[in-house]
Amino acid sequence: MKSPDSKIVVNAMSVDVEDYFQVSAFEQTIPRSRWDSMPCHVEANVERLLALFEQYSVKATFFTLGWVAERYPLLIKTLVEHGHEVASHGWEHTRVVHQSPDQFRQDVVKAKELLEDLSGQPVRGYRAASYSINSTNLWALDVLSEVGYEYSSSVVPIKHDLYGMPEASRFPFRTESRGFLEIPISTISVAGRNINCGGGGWFRLFPYAFSRWAIQSVNDNENQPCIFYFHPWEIDEQQPRVAGINVKTRFRHYVNIHKMYGRIERLLNDFNWDRMDRIFLSQACEAIEGPEAVSCY
């Protein structure tokens, strides 16, 4: 049951719409040239999530690959019909660290145009593949602003072997050059180190009690909303097991997948949730701690 304190802050629920074979960890094992030959589970998994969200009256933001939207256009229309926000996850899950500014621009424009055509609504948000915006490519946020996006959720302020920008703000901030809004994935500071409490593999790895405590702490002690994310494949126990991957990758991808659906259900029950755009682009957003930070809840 939701505690009385949890009603003070509404958190942001988000889903990164990609299939199991499209994750960055498999890019050397399953090249894009094979994607069309792989059995797709994404449509069925998203439909299952829509039913779960409907049960708990939760609206979410779905950061969707253009590749998926092109092949499942009715899925985008269904998201809109259920009242969810459709946002961009780029075209085919190419990490920004592997793109030039021109390549990135073409990618995010192509995805935005298709998603807007299918949804009939403006696409305001973007999330980079594998949170691949960091201190080396902050130019990407300027590009997003230039082509019409209103916010990004592509930075994780942690130290990690595959991604992360530990020096970034833990809470929403605006770029110095264009004032563009970046909404980092949620972390909690423990003994001077940021620990991810915003979902994905971390949510599957840590005991649920830790995640619940961390989100509640950010809400109650810092009066900030948490940004939570996960992928449709993370609730899919029936997905094909990919051969030829190392032990570390196998552990990261499959750990506790059998527990994920139940944990998501508990999370929906324990906290209040809404779409990214409603929480962070509302008229209630006010600048705090100077021009580079914002509070939007």
pLDDT tens, 177-214? Answer: 889 999 999 999 988 889 999 998 889 999 999 999 99
State pTM to two decimals. Answer: 0.92
Q: In sequence order, which ranges of 21-124 are alpha helices (DSSP H)? A: 42-55, 66-71, 73-81, 101-119
Tens-digit pLDDT profile for residues 69-119 = 999 999 999 999 999 999 999 999 999 999 999 999 999 999 999 999 999
Residue 163 has pLDDT above 70, yes or no: no
CA-based radius of gyration for the chain? 18
pLDDT for 203-252, tens place per residue?
Answer: 999 999 999 999 999 999 999 999 999 999 999 999 999 999 999 889 88
100 token code pair: 């030039």
For 192-217, letters b (16+ CB in 10 Å) and e give eebbbbbbbbbbbebebeebbebbbe
Whole-Å CA distances, 267 to 11, 186, 261, 264, 273: 11, 15, 10, 5, 9
On average, the pLDDT of the chain sits at 91
| Structural domains of the chain ordered from first start | 4-295 (3.20.20.370)
Closest Cα partner for 18 from 33, 32, 1? 32
Do the strands 173-174 and 181-182 form a parallel or antiparallel pair, or are they unpaired?
antiparallel
CB 115 within 8 A of CB 69: yes
Has residue 161 got a pLDDT over 80?
A: no
Could you give the CA distance from residue 34 to residue 129 in angstroms, rounded to a whole number? Answer: 19
pLDDT digits (tens, 9 = 90+) for 112-142: 999 999 999 999 999 999 999 999 999 999 9
Q: What is the percent of the chain where pLDDT is above 70?
A: 91
Looking at the DSSP assignment, which residues form a beta bridge with residue 152?
Answer: 126, 182
pLDDT of residue 166: 83
pLDDT of the residue at 215: 97
